[in-house]
Structure 1
């Protein structure tokens, strides 16, 4: 049975937009499940995020002799958050699974003093709010207050959790990075920093720079390159079998 692809959409993406990725995987012969992302996911307890989808994966895993292979396809930091929470849900539910490979689209952000937090990311993706806080110094104050809040509550920054898990703990998992030098939301330096970290951990890495496309718009800007990059990667690291779900 082929691995199940978990398409983890970016924050507040329309279902129709993410459907295009499911359709792409369907054409490649893979079954895909969508995990939508909402801005509130960054602030909810992890056990509240995508809990309803656990039963779907459990049913698929129950029909196999071995653990279910998964390919998380995470888009932006919202997608990273979705997979982080959902993986915890699967572990808590004792669903037998293993991660075959991972696809990163326009992510991850590298944690640091100036990393964009979920509030700032939400602002940048909402035209009205972006207009209200257009001044750069306001963004800096938002970051300062969020980091202060995290310090007071003892919580780790979500981006730190993603970094430690995907790039450090999961070093043995092959990774495909799809990004663009023109991305204005998640900087190229963040993506390249993630790539360098993964390489330093000995991970098998494939990288594709779409150069001119904006954040999470690589499939729309160059569908042929996007699909062929995915196909080459999953064929190498997650071969498809004829058995269907």
Structure 2
């Protein structure tokens, strides 16, 4: 069965930055990759529409690279909450199109937040603003708006917000899928305690394999930059338990 790694970037992650992770799999581990980029617009449309264009691109890519009648093996590499949401939404398109696939394992980098926590959202949405004063003002406004939005979605309309959507799918529904958590106690965007809680929940639900690497001092989604060899070796050792790799470190 053909194996494809879905490299799902963090919210606002630039193509060049996310490409480093795809290169790690393609060049070092010998696996095909497909990249999903996370943008703010993903959060203001129904989950069923997120990455609709990316899915069409994937269908074209798949037709050019693999036998479309063969069941796929997909390994999601999810970075921050944005990457988690991209993958969670992309699965909708795969299911609706009737594309058969298995997920033998998944990697969570700097993820994920508690279901109803919106404190990191303003930081992620305003990270690209260079002027610190403007950034803080925008972040303060977004904090109020996002707190209200979470309340309305969950308590008034009974709907899942993106963070709850991620948690319910990746931790609860997909409890049977082995997971590698790559995080840092020094993360100032996604609360490390939330990641540790997700790890504890995965263990509580008896997820068959739960591996954890704490990079301790690295910043949000910066573990590969801080400790490239440790990062690559951790991913290689984990993924190699579930799929045959074409190369070794």
Q: What TM-score, normalized by structure 2, do the two folds share?
A: 0.87
Relative to structure 1, is the Cα distance of residues 229 and 97 closer, same or farther in structure 2, using a 3 angstrom cutoff?
A: same
Q: Matches of 1:126 and 1:91 in 2, distance apart?
A: 37
Gap regions ≥5 residues in structure 2: none
- Per the alignment, residue 233 of structure 2 pairs with 228
Note the alpha carbon deviations across 1:61-104, whole angstroms, 9 max, x for none. 96166410000000011001100110111001111111111000
Q: Does residue 74 of structure 1 match 2:75?
A: no
Deviation at 1:215, TM superposition (A): 0.2
Note the alpha carbon deviations across 1:146-205, whole angstroms, 9 max, x for none. 223314444212111111111111111110000001000001101100000000111110
Deviation at 1:125, TM superposition (A): 5.5
- Per the alignment, residue 24 of structure 2 pairs with 24
Structure 1 stretch 149-158 or stretch 92-101: which is displaced more? 149-158
Q: Does residue 180 of structure 1 match 2:184?
A: yes
Q: Matches of 1:111 and 1:38 in 2, distance apart?
A: 20
- Per the alignment, residue 148 of structure 2 pairs with 145
- Per the alignment, residue 207 of structure 1 pairs with 212
- Per the alignment, residue 85 of structure 1 pairs with 89
- Per the alignment, residue 36 of structure 2 pairs with 35
Q: Matches of 1:94 and 1:13 in 2, distance apart?
A: 30
- Per the alignment, residue 116 of structure 1 pairs with 119
Q: Quick check: 1:3–1:240 contact (8 Å CA) kept in 2?
A: no
Alignment of 1:231-242 (within 5 A): 231-240=236-245
2:174 to 170, 173, 188: 170
Gap regions ≥5 residues in structure 1: none
Relative to structure 1, is the Cα distance of residues 94 and 75 closer, same or farther in structure 2, using a 3 angstrom cutoff?
A: same
Alignment of 1:51-62 (within 5 A): 51-54=52-55, 55-56=59-60, 58-59=62-63
Q: Matches of 1:148 and 1:37 in 2, distance apart?
A: 23
Deviation at 1:131, TM superposition (A): 2.3
RMSD: 2.4
Q: Quick check: 1:2–1:240 contact (8 Å CA) kept in 2?
A: no
Query: Matched residue pairs, number?
Result: 239
